Amino acid sequence: MKPAAVRNWVDEARRVVALTGAGISTESGIPDFRGPQGVWTKDPLAEKLSDIRYYMSDAEVRKAAWRSRLSHPAWHAKPNRGHMALAALERAGSLHALITQNIDGLHQLAGNSPDKVIEVHGTVRDVVCMACGAISPMPLTLDRVKAGEADPACLDCGGILKSATISFGQALVPEVIEHAMSSAGQAEVFFAIGSSLQVYPIAGALPAARAAGARIVIVNAQPTPFDNMADAVFREPIGEILPRLLGVGDATAGD
């Protein structure tokens, strides 16, 4: 399949829906989990820090999690050409929804409006109290960690604090998932970008879009379980191929 053919689908569509995963942010310096340079691929113990059961029961896991939040690459990362292409698609008027598994906030930094971005796994830019539910900006708590509180507690109720992300073993927010799934079902063209499509239920957005008649385009370096359901699959680096597929910028010469 030629990029120009996908571009035609996008040009003709009024509702393009994208599902993005960690792979769209690797070119911004944020490693994915399951790619060749993935956090879990290189250090299987890192999985513990993302598991709510260990986090809630073990202060040492929480201290390690706060140390790793202090140096999270998201604080210095800038959106790359993949993020920028999706922001340009919104400006062009055809982005219906941008469902993301990412917690790094780079889509909003690229210029996508918060009401288009559906963060199914939450955001690392906020902190939530696991007892009273209070939400606060991450930098406030990171300042306390820097000042010596290794496992800071909620200032209101003393509860355990955590980044406002959905960890493994933690319930998803049903309204957010429903919004993502219904948006996928309204797509005319559905892109899955930089996701291994192994995390459910959100991987199910792709077959939901397909069942509702959308064209399916997968952009991912490694094979996914849904490649045989796609109308087109591209393995090139996202920052290189996505602007060409979406027809934004001057990246289309030679297609």
Catalytic residue list: 121
Q: Work out the angle at residue 97's Cα, subtended by the Cα atoms of residues 138 and 174, and round it to the nearest 5 degrees.
A: 65
Q: Toward ligand NAD, which CB reaches closer, 68 or 222?
A: 222
- Longest Cα–Cα distance of the chain, Å, equals 60
CB of 159 to ligand NAD, least distance (A): 23
Q: Toward ligand NAD, which CB reaches closer, 37 or 57?
A: 37
Encoded amino acid at 66, one letter = W
In the numeric block, the tokens 């996505």 are attached to: 242
CB of 185 to ligand NAD, least distance (A): 20
- Burial profile 128-140: b = 16 or more Cβ within 10 angstroms, e = fewer: bbeeeeeebebee
d(CA 67, CA 150): 8
Residue 19 near residue 184 (C-beta atoms within 8 A): yes
CB of 12 to ligand NAD, least distance (A): 25
CB of 229 to ligand NAD, least distance (A): 16
Q: Toward ligand NAD, which CB reaches closer, 239 or 247?
A: 239
Q: Toward ligand NAD, which CB reaches closer, 170 or 183?
A: 170
Question: For residue 10, which phi and psi values (nearest 5 degrees)?
Answer: -65, -45
d(CA 94, CA 16): 6
Residue nearest to ligand NAD as judged by C-beta position: 23
Interacting residues with ligand NAD (CB under 6 A): 21-23, 25-27, 30, 32-35, 38, 101-104, 121, 194-196, 198-199, 220-222, 237-238
Alpha helices in the chain (DSSP H): 3-12, 39-42, 46-49, 52-57, 59-70, 81-92, 106-110, 138-146, 174-185, 205-211, 238-246
Q: Toward ligand NAD, which CB reaches closer, 154 or 206?
A: 206
CB of 14 to ligand NAD, least distance (A): 27
At how many degrees (to 10) do helices 238-246 and 81-92 cross? 20
